[in-house]
Amino acid sequence: MDDNVNRKALELISLKGKVALITGAASGIGLATAKCLAEAGARVALLDINESKGKEAAVEIENSGENAKFYRCDVTSNSDCKSITQEVYREFGRIDILFNNAGVIKRKNIVELSEEEWDVVLNVNLKAIYLLSHHVIPYMAKGGGGSIINAGSGWGLKGGPNAAAYCAAKGGAVNLTRAMAIDHGKQRIRVNCVCPGDTDTPLLHDEAAQLGEASEKFMKKAADRPLDRIGLPEDIANAVLYFASDISSWVTGSILVVDGGGLA
């Protein structure tokens, strides 16, 4: 391949000079994405409620030679989201990328769900997108634009069994993405959504436990899809990198399914 083509591709995918804010970054897809974006040149702000794992994640990235910092943040708290966003901006001087990744699931139908469980799932998976975006977008606009990536799910596009609140929240995330893309395109802010299928993360293992199934058996069933394997956090991180970088500079309001063909 021509060296000029290689150089151009690398320039488009590079995040050098950019700052990325990632929620749910202490483990799973969030951690894989933090590593991926850092490797692409971004300075990364890792947000999570788990302080010990979050600090370990930031140290791991910094030990690999990249720039990372952890911030403890309850993404369902407006005051937390506001103060942490301000702190990240003061620390790094800009915010170019926001990955609204934090998530939680309760495997229950609408009758079994308590009001408290409904609120937790909706708040973490959907309200948090509003809160972080509400506080980040003015900084992005001030810097000339940016990219917001919301975490959806295959179950945000179709129904799933015994996951009523999760399906509702992820369906909301999908359509909220489209609305945000329309509202903020003139500010050069692109908003897209990644919809993972079953991915080998602590969240998926927690699902198995909620359903009373052994993790190994649960994962084997989850791998039953055209590409014949379960997703890896890195698979989703690569999709986020696409949306975060200039290689997707004319893409906004899009929903990208990354699920090994599960919805095909």
Q: Is residue 154 part of a domain?
A: yes
Q: Is residue 241 part of a domain?
A: yes
CA 174-175-177 angle, 5° bins: 70
- CA separation for the pair 124, 105 (Å, rounded): 9
Q: Is residue 140 part of a domain?
A: yes
Q: Which residues pair with 199 in a beta bridge?
A: 231
Q: Is residue 220 part of a domain?
A: no
Q: What's the N-to-C CA distance of the chain in angstroms?
A: 33
**pLDDT given at position 108:** 98
**pLDDT given at position 80:** 98
- CA separation for the pair 191, 244 (Å, rounded): 10
The pTM (predicted TM-score) of the whole model is 0.96
**pLDDT given at position 1:** 54
Q: Is residue 206 part of a domain?
A: no
- Residue 78 CA, distance from chain mean position: 19
Q: What is the CA radius of gyration of the chain?
A: 18
Number of domains composing the chain:
1
Q: Is residue 174 part of a domain?
A: yes
**pLDDT given at position 142:** 97
Q: Is residue 47 part of a domain?
A: yes
- CA separation for the pair 125, 22 (Å, rounded): 14
**pLDDT given at position 126:** 98
**pLDDT given at position 8:** 80
**pLDDT given at position 5:** 63
Among 43, 7, 47, smallest CA distance to 244 is for 43
Q: Is residue 35 part of a domain?
A: yes
**pLDDT given at position 11:** 87
The single residue of 71, 89, 139, 166 carrying the catalytic annotation is: 166
Specify whether 242 is catalytic. no
Show pLDDT as tens, one digit a residue, over the chain (264 residues).
566 767 887 888 999 999 999 999 999 999 999 999 999 999 999 999 999 999 999 999 999 999 999 999 999 999 999 999 999 999 999 999 999 999 999 999 999 999 999 999 999 999 999 999 999 999 999 999 999 999 999 999 999 999 999 999 999 999 999 999 999 999 999 999 999 999 999 999 999 999 999 999 999 999 999 999 999 999 999 999 999 999 999 999 999 999 999 999
**Segments forming the whole domain that contains residue 49:** 3-197+232-258
Report the CATH number that the domain containing residue 130 is assigned in CATH: 3.40.50.720
